[in-house]
Structure 1
Amino acid sequence: MIEQNTREAFGLTLYTSAHKDIRKLRRAQGVAELHGNKLWKSSLVLMDYLRECPIEPGSRVLELGCGWGTSSVFCAKTFNAEVVALDADESVFPFVDLHAARNGVSVSTYCERFENLTEEDLSGFDVIIGADICFWDEMVEPLEQVLDLALAAEVGRIVLTDPGRPTFRALAEAINESYEDVIYTDWDVPEPHNLWGLVLDV
């Protein structure tokens, strides 16, 4: 029997906004400043894509703009990855911890803005992931810079997903033009989720 106000997806139990523990955290934490306030559908697109195109087991993974950290939890549980969930808004981290505990994994958290990340910060990771993180015009340039730094730091793989925002398209097209071995495609997630999104896999 599925617990009330949760959903099962890709081997995880995920909380909805109406779950009592989520509501309790919101009362304690207040409203997230940067839209880390719910389960974004692009996270499910990312999980489905990584299920079909997996990362190496035991990878060191950084999630950019983690929000509730569900993609981090997925990588930790599915691939036994060592994961750091990064967000500019530290108020989301209790939601990350809640999902990690519910699914029996451990995820580290780190508060920082994209534009402050350095090549050294990124050099310790094998994989960088992100879902629905390019939602404002002013985020395109900092994210392009982060991806450039990550590739210079020899991060092995970067996978981002998005619902199709013009800002993400601008980022993905710039990266696609600048680098070889880039996959930039749409991705359908079948029933019961019935989702669609864009994928950038570098």
Structure 2
Amino acid sequence: MPYASHACIRAVKRAGHEPSIHGTKLWKSSCLIIDYLKKNTPLRRQRILDAGCGWGITGIWCAQQWGSEVVSMDADPAVFPYLDAVAALNGVSTTPWVQRFEKVQKKDLRQTDVLFGGDICFWDELVKPVGTMIDRAIDAGVGTIVIGDPERPTFHQMAEKAIQRHGGELLNWRLTGSVKATGALLVIHND
């Protein structure tokens, strides 16, 4: 898991790729999601959507550990050179998709087994689009949805609405190993 100081990440930055929507580092909610998925492996996990992927570490982990087909989605195309560098370090690849949460349609999600996103509900303006994406994922039959966050008020607002509509649970999660992180996970099982 490379950080901004890793040689491959510095090389991408020197090449002039500069993300504009906070895709400039590894966000620790991705690590919370990975830990959850390690301990709670979904039965259906062949096709993954990493929404708001940034550097894509969670999807890359799924591709590496499970052999999953991963679509890495982000609104900022400038994150993909970083994602490609991290994927190459891990010996895998993912399919990039430049898209905003509110533009994801039910038909885009029909073949998806797992949808996750880390640190994707950080502005008030993202509460409704992330919630709508979850609604469409449920309608499309996505089996497992996991959204992680360091517990911003906007995340809790979105999560409460999603739980009211679809059930699921809000879990407090903590990592204490080499990566230290705390936060909450919205988990919805739709199998």
TM-score by length of 1: 0.89
Of 127, 147, 151, which aligns to 1:140?
127
Which 5+ residue runs of structure 1 have no aligned equivalent? Answer: 1-13
Which 5+ residue runs of structure 2 have no aligned equivalent? Answer: none
Runs of 4+ in 1 over 6 A off after TM superposition: none
Query: Partners in 1 of 2:51 and 2:14 — Cα distance?
Result: 25
Of 168, 183, 188, which aligns to 2:174?
188
SS of the residue aligned with 2:15? helix
Q: Which position in structure 1 is the counterpart of 2:36?
A: 49
Deviations 1:26-75 (A, max 9, x none): 12233211101101111111111111111236520000000000011011
Query: Partners in 1 of 2:119 and 2:95 — Cα distance?
Result: 20
Deviations 1:134-162 (A, max 9, x none): 10000000111110011011111111111
TM-score by length of 2: 0.94
Query: Partners in 2 of 1:122 and 1:21 — Cα distance?
Result: 32
Q: Which position in structure 1 is the counterpart of 2:102?
A: 115
Amino acid at match of 1:163: P
Of 16, 33, 38, which aligns to 2:20?
33
Query: Partners in 2 of 1:126 and 1:29 — Cα distance?
Result: 35
Question: How does 1:147-186 map onto structure 2 within 5 Å?
Answer: 147-180=134-167, 182-186=168-172
Structure scoring higher RCO (CA < 8 A, sep ≥ 6) equals 2
Query: Partners in 2 of 1:131 and 1:108 — Cα distance?
Result: 18
CA pair 93-80 structure 1, distance change in 2 beyond 3 A:
same
Amino acid at match of 1:173: E
**Equivalent residues, number:** 188
Q: Which position in structure 2 is the counterpart of 1:200?
A: 186
Amino acid at match of 2:183: G
Amino acid at match of 1:174: K
Residue 24 of structure 1, CA deviation: 1.8
Residue 101 of structure 1, CA deviation: 1.0
Amino acid at match of 1:134: C
Q: Which stretch shifts more, 51-60 or 41-50?
A: 51-60
Query: Partners in 2 of 1:103 and 1:136 — Cα distance?
Result: 31
Q: What percent of counterpart residues are identical? A: 40
Pair 1:131 & 2:131 matched: no
